[in-house]
Chains A and B, each alone.
Chain A
Amino acid sequence: MTLPEIAIPTIDTPDLILRGYRESDFGAVAAFGGSERARFVGGPHDRWTCWRAFLAGVGHWALRGYGMWIVEHRASGQVAGRVGMILNDGWVEPELAWHIYDGFEGRGLAYQAAQAARCYAARHQGLDRVISYINAENTRSIRLAHRLGAQFESDGELLGQPCQIYRHPAIGDAA
């Protein structure tokens, strides 16, 4: 018996492929989740929590009809991060989120991934003028939010922790 994959669309950008999940991606996801780099997304996490998050990344698409993609770096074939829309239990509205893995920062890849995901969400998932929850100390993410045209909207809270809410501009049909 074969199980068709959850239909996660593939998006091509100049340097990246946003795509669905493969078991072989787990190593990269766990390496990020277990590292200090995950401190702004509730980590570092133990391996079980990373595994749960990895599977949940797939399941979110089934539950919501949208979710986070695996970001593959086209030239190297490596997993460069994850990007996409999240609406977990406890989120007030759908959030555009980006995780960029070690070695893929500083090349504009996060910008490219986030822009592609945001554009897809606005065009195909009915999610426009979305928010991003960002930890106030996560200066790199805040810089990226600004570069994406998002603006600080308010202080908020996520899972009992204070955070900042950034609002992205309307993409709509113009994207």
Chain B
Amino acid sequence: MIQIPEIKTRRLILRGPEPEDYPDFKATFSSYRSRFMGGPLNKYEAWMLYAAEIGHWDIRGYGMWMIHHKDDDRTLGMAGGWSPAGWPEREIAWIIWPGEAGQGFALEATHAARRHLYEAFAWEGAVSYIDPKNLDSIRLAERLGAVKDTQAATIDGNDAVYRHPSPERLKSGQLADGIEMEISQYSNPIFSPKGMPVD
């Protein structure tokens, strides 16, 4: 088994995808929730994609982490780096299981994964390819400081490209502080957000 680095945040632990996490992955990728990630998938396709998530780490040296809650270790979704053959640029991607949305987990996990890709894996930047109808993800990209890049090459013309801020811009300043503040509010028990579900 490959050694995938573990990342800890306030509420989360990010680890490599493990065999026992497959049912959770399959449940989401068999559901309408995955419609912007090529789904819903049948069980064969879900299996192949999950195995590919692991293979990606081996072939590329980076990949998607499984997001776990620190309290009970349950899985919440995935976040990390993704780079299929032939894609124009390396992507930062995320998905949160439908029952776990609205608690800021995607923001907290993706922010930490992006920092790891930038700092430990020396990425100099990244994009996210997002279906224009995937409003929740577009909102998350913007909360992460990514900006729509209309000049960048798309995967197949059906996706919008959001360009993430550079490692330099994330080191300090208003953008970085704003993200940290939002995450800290989600983590604060007296501020438990209700209402509109955002990732």
Contact = CB atoms under 8 A, between A and B. Distances in A.
Contacts of B195: none
Nearest to A3: B2
A8 to B, nearest CB: 9
A88 B2 contact: no
B2 A1 contact: no
B59 A88 contact: no
Contacts of A22: 59
Given A1-B120, A4-B2, A6-B1, A59 B85 contact: no
Interface residues of A, number: 30
B59 A58 contact: yes
Q: Which applies to chain A's interface (DSSP): helix, strand, loop or mixed?
A: helix
A21 B58 contact: yes
Interface stretch (B47-55, B131-139, B168-176): B47-55
A47 B55 CA distance: 16
Interface residues of B, number: 32
A153 to B, nearest CB: 22
Interface string A77-107: 0000000000011100000000000000000
A63 B19 contact: yes
Of A5, A56, A60, most buried by chain B (CB within 10 Å of CB) is A56
Given A62-B54, A88-B47, A23 B59 contact: yes
A56 B55 contact: yes
B37 to A, nearest CB: 12
Given A22-B59, A53-B48, A64-B19, 12 more contacts: A1-B5, A3-B57, A4-B3, A52-B84, A54-B59, A55-B53, A55-B54, A58-B51, A63-B50, A88-B47, A89-B22, A89-B47
Interface of B: 1-5, 19, 22, 26, 42-44, 46-61, 84-86, 120-121
Interface of A: 1, 3-7, 21-23, 26, 30, 47-48, 51-60, 62-64, 88-90, 159
25 contacts: A3-B2, A6-B58, A21-B58, A21-B59, A23-B59, A26-B85, A51-B86, A52-B52, A54-B52, A55-B51, A55-B54, A55-B58, A56-B47, A58-B59, A59-B52, A59-B53, A59-B54, A59-B56, A59-B58, A60-B51, A63-B54, A64-B19, A88-B51, A89-B22, A90-B44
